[in-house]
């Protein structure tokens, strides 16, 4: 048995950290690790928390972690790229949060850089979640700053998505709102200790809709005063209860897996093309033919793809990996 995998299964923090680093760096050990851990996954509830920069996601996550800890749940927090350009203090805030929980073995906190590549976040995050799941955490909270693609990706990894908003958001956020409205199951208007929260609640309320049998909910809260946090926990539990048996959940998981495998295949093929084809003599030959105007680029591409597929199929017959 892989030593790190064994440590993860025992819930050892050092092993968990090593495993996630291995996944993040996609080193040689990461595949073997995931292979051993995967049979032990599928138990954790994954909560996605997203929203525009600085709305108080980390502060809320901290409050949620405390509530769930007091109920006896083991909680892991995965912060994806916690350095948002707007609230430069995020790192400091996250440090404070870590210190607050650092003596509690039932809480594990980890940051991951999204590195800006589109498939990267979901690939590493998904597998990091699997490590935490196998390590026995009941609740895994994934925090991402919701700008651009990030908020769409979180749907693919989370069982429930919370979108955090606040009073006085600017125009840029209005534009992003359409995307956020699509993915949220629960909308939190945080910083309700500041003026204007009721207006945001009112605006959201008119566009909430029902998806997969769940009526999108809105909750007014303040991570600062603690107001509304109990209501938020109640809503989360309501969602979990209503989805425990729902057929739509199985469908969502299947869709997510389908997406994951498709993207993995595309990424792997891309890697093979980059690493193998570039230096292949046959490939260089075709390039020379295009340069000599003996063949046009489109036909050359078709030819190369055909060669690639033929090779893949020849290999496949040998290994009998697929039927």
Ligand X SMILES: Nc1nc2c(ncn2[C@@H]2O[C@H](COP(=O)(O)OP(=O)(O)OP(=O)(O)O)[C@@H](O)[C@H]2O)c(=O)[nH]1
d(CA 62, CA 192): 17
Member of 29, 30, 58, 122 binding ligand X (CB under 6 A): 58
The answer to the question of residue 82 lying near ligand X (CB under 6 A) is yes
- C-alpha neighbours within 13 Å on the C-beta side of residue 288: 6
The answer to the question of residue 54 lying near ligand X (CB under 6 A) is yes
In the complex with ligand X, the residue whose CB is nearer, 50 or 127, is 50
The answer to the question of residue 221 lying near Mg ion (CB under 5 A) is no
Q: At what angle do helices 118-134 and 13-24 cross, to 10 degrees?
A: 160
Q: Terminal CA-to-CA distance of the chain, rounded, Å?
A: 29
The answer to the question of residue 144 lying near ligand X (CB under 6 A) is no
In the complex with ligand X, the residue whose CB is nearer, 54 or 156, is 54
With CB under 6 A as the contact rule, which of the stretches 2-10, 149-157, 185-193, 311-319 interacts with ligand X? 185-193
In the complex with ligand X, the residue whose CB is nearer, 7 or 56, is 56
* Among ligand X, Mg ion, none, residue 127 binds (CB under 5-8 Å by kind): none
d(CA 122, CA 155): 10
Cβ 192 to ligand X, closest distance in Å? 7
The answer to the question of residue 144 lying near Mg ion (CB under 5 A) is no
Using the CB atoms, write b or e for 117-155: b if 16+ within 10 Å: eeebbbbbbbbbbbbbbbbbbbbbbbbbbbbebbbbbbb
Under a CB-based contact definition with an 8 Å cutoff, are residues 121 and 80 in contact? yes
DSSP state of 187: E
Cβ 249 to Mg ion, closest distance in Å? 28
The answer to the question of residue 90 lying near Mg ion (CB under 5 A) is yes
The answer to the question of residue 56 lying near ligand X (CB under 6 A) is yes
Cβ 97 to ligand X, closest distance in Å? 8
Member of 2, 12, 41, 53 binding ligand X (CB under 6 A): 53
Q: What is the torsional sign of CA 136, 137, 138, 142?
A: negative
- What does the CA dihedral 197, 200, 205, 210 come to, rounded to 10 degrees? -110
The answer to the question of residue 59 lying near ligand X (CB under 6 A) is yes
In the complex with ligand X, the residue whose CB is nearer, 193 or 260, is 193
- Residues sharing a CB contact under 8 Å with residue 300, sequence separation 6 or more, in sequence order: 286, 287, 289, 290
The answer to the question of residue 127 lying near ligand X (CB under 6 A) is no
The answer to the question of residue 30 lying near ligand X (CB under 6 A) is no
* 3-state class (DSSP) for residue 78: strand
The answer to the question of residue 90 lying near ligand X (CB under 6 A) is yes
- The dihedrals phi and psi of 220, each to the nearest 5 degrees, come to -95, 125
In the complex with ligand X, the residue whose CB is nearer, 193 or 231, is 193
Member of 30, 58, 124, 190 binding Mg ion (CB under 5 A): 58
Longest dimension (CA), the chain: 73
- The dihedrals phi and psi of 245, each to the nearest 5 degrees, come to -105, -10
* Among Mg ion, ligand X, none, residue 222 binds (CB under 5-8 Å by kind): ligand X
Member of 22, 29, 50, 222 binding ligand X (CB under 6 A): 222
* 3-state class (DSSP) for residue 59: helix
The answer to the question of residue 87 lying near ligand X (CB under 6 A) is yes
**In the complex, which residues of this chain contact ligand X (CB under 6 A)?**
53-59, 82, 84, 87, 89-90, 93, 145, 190-191, 193-194, 222-224
Residues found near Mg ion in the complex (CB under 5 A): 57-58, 82, 90
């Amino acid at each position: 048995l892989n030593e790190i995998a064994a440590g993860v299964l025992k819930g050892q923090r050092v092993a968990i950290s090593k495993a996630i680093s291995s996944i993040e760096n996609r080193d040689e050990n990461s595949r073997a690790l995931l292979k051993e851990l995967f049979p032990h996954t599928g138990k954790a509830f994954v909560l996605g928390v997203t929203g525009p920069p600085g709305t108080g996601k980390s502060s809320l996550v901290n409050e949620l972690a405390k509530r769930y800890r007091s109920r006896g749940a083991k909680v892991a927090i995965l912060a994806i790229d916690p350095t948002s350009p707007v609230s430069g203090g995020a790192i400091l805030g996250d440090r404070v949060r870590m210190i607050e929980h650092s003596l509690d073995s039932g809480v594990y906190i980890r940051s991951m850089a999204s590195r800006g590549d589109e498939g990267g976040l979901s690939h590493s995050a998904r597998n990091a979640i699997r490590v935490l799941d196998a390590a026995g955490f009941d609740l895994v909270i994934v925090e991402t700053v919701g700008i651009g693609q990030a908020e769409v990706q979180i749907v693919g990894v989370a069982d429930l998505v919370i979108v955090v908003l606040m009073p006085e958001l600017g125009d840029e956020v209005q534009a992003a709102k359409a995307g956020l409205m699509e993915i949220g199951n629960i909308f939190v208007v945080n910083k309700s200790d500041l003026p204007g929260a009721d207006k945001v609640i009112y605006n959201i309320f008119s566009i909430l809709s029902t998806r997969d049998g769940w009526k999108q909910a809105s909750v007014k809260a303040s991570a600062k005063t603690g107001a509304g946090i109990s209501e938020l926990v109640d809503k989360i539990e309501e969602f979990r209860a209503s989805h425990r048996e729902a057929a739509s959940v199985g469908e969502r998981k299947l869709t997510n897996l389908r997406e994951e495998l498709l993207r993995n295949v595309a990424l792997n093929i891309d890697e093979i093309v980059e690493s193998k084809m570039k230096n292949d003599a046959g490939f260089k030959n075709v390039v020379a033919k295009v340069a000599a105007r003996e063949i046009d680029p489109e036909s050359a591409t078709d030819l190369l793809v055909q060669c690639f597929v033929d090779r893949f199929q020849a290999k496949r017959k040998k290994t009998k990996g697929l039927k």
